[in-house]
Structure 1
Amino acid sequence: MHDTTLLQLIEDDFAPAQQMLELLQTEAIALLGRDMPLLENLLARKQSLVILLEQQGQRRSQLLASLGLSQDREGVQQLASQSQLGERLMQQLDALSKLLADCQAINERNGRSIQLQQNSTANQIRILMGGESPSLYDARGSTSPLAKPRTLSQV
């Protein structure tokens, strides 16, 4: 009975996890194009999927805990070893784990892309504002005006 419930909980996660993977792939493209309206839309949809996946994960953990099993892969293996559905249970768990690992990898890549864009933007703003430019001296021996911060209207 509990094995069937756990299997159903795992299988119920496939659709939202697949949707998450697709959203993350779309996000990668939107990040390259700096499509802010699309990114905002994706963020809202991602947040709802994260909440759903967390709730499902909590249900699985609660089920395993109620059986006195650890709330990880080892606990599922213990349950699977005592079940006729054991092989299918582990196959589905492995498939879901791979899908979620793919989501995590794309999410990390998107995070690095965001950091790179933030650094690039900060560098561009610093250049426009005249900050951290080399100290240059003019013919009179005073510091060049290039080294002094400027407002954007003076750039």
Structure 2
Amino acid sequence: MEHLNTLFSTAKVDAESFTALLDQEHKALVDRDMPALELLLAEKAPLVTSLAQHDRAIITYCQQVGIQPGESLEHHLATTQTAELLNTYHAFKDALQRCKTANERNARLIRHSQQATGQLLDLLRNQGESSQNIYDSQGLSSRSGTPRNLTKV
């Protein structure tokens, strides 16, 4: 039991640390601070490794007692272990959920930035819907179809 309590406590601390880095990453993404993002990536790598190790240890425990991770684990802990261990598990699960939420928030921001950048690149390449038929590659076309010089536009 002490092993599980230590495992869940350590995993909770790592999840909280990862969430803090994700919050810093969010600020760096909003500020478009690429050097900060590179540093955060380096800081996140050991925590990802550590969280993966915790996951493997939890899966190993579940296999040893013949249950599935998730709800079966929670039920197992509620029925066979102490309330303290169950509380530690719930704290770990809550920290993991906050981590997941922060990661999804950053992923949405990254996707949005990629789409906006892609649209801007399309406009620059004269491939976007709003820029079609305004200029050709020499800057000589207009919506009315009458060619005009780029300097007169």
Q: What amino acid does structure 1 have at the position aligned with 2:43?
A: R
* Secondary structure of the corresponding residue to residue 2 of structure 2: helix
Match in the other structure for 1:98: 94
In 2 relative to 1, CA 122–80 (structure 1 residues): closer, same or farther, beyond 3 Å? same
- Count the aligned residue pairs: 141
Deviations 1:125-151 (A, max 9, x none): 11122223232566x9567788xxxxx
Any gaps of 5 or more consecutive residues in structure 1?
147-155
Match in the other structure for 2:58: 60
C-alpha RMSD over aligned residues? 2.3
Q: CA deviation at 1:72?
A: 2.8
Q: Give the TM-score of the pair, scaled to structure 2.
A: 0.80
Alpha-carbon contact 1:18-1:99 (below 8 Å) kept: yes
Q: Structure 2 CA distance, aligned partners of 1:94 and 1:126?
A: 48
Q: What amino acid does structure 2 have at the position aligned with 1:71?
A: P
Q: What amino acid does structure 2 have at the position aligned with 1:102?
A: R
Q: Which runs of 4+ in 1 moved over 6 A?
A: 142-146
Alpha-carbon contact 1:77-1:90 (below 8 Å) kept: no
Q: Structure 2 CA distance, aligned partners of 1:75 and 1:100?
A: 15
Any gaps of 5 or more consecutive residues in structure 2?
135-140
Alpha-carbon contact 1:13-1:53 (below 8 Å) kept: yes
Q: Percent identity?
A: 29
* Secondary structure of the corresponding residue to residue 70 of structure 1: coil
Match in the other structure for 1:27: 25
In 2 relative to 1, CA 57–92 (structure 1 residues): closer, same or farther, beyond 3 Å? same
Match in the other structure for 1:48: 46
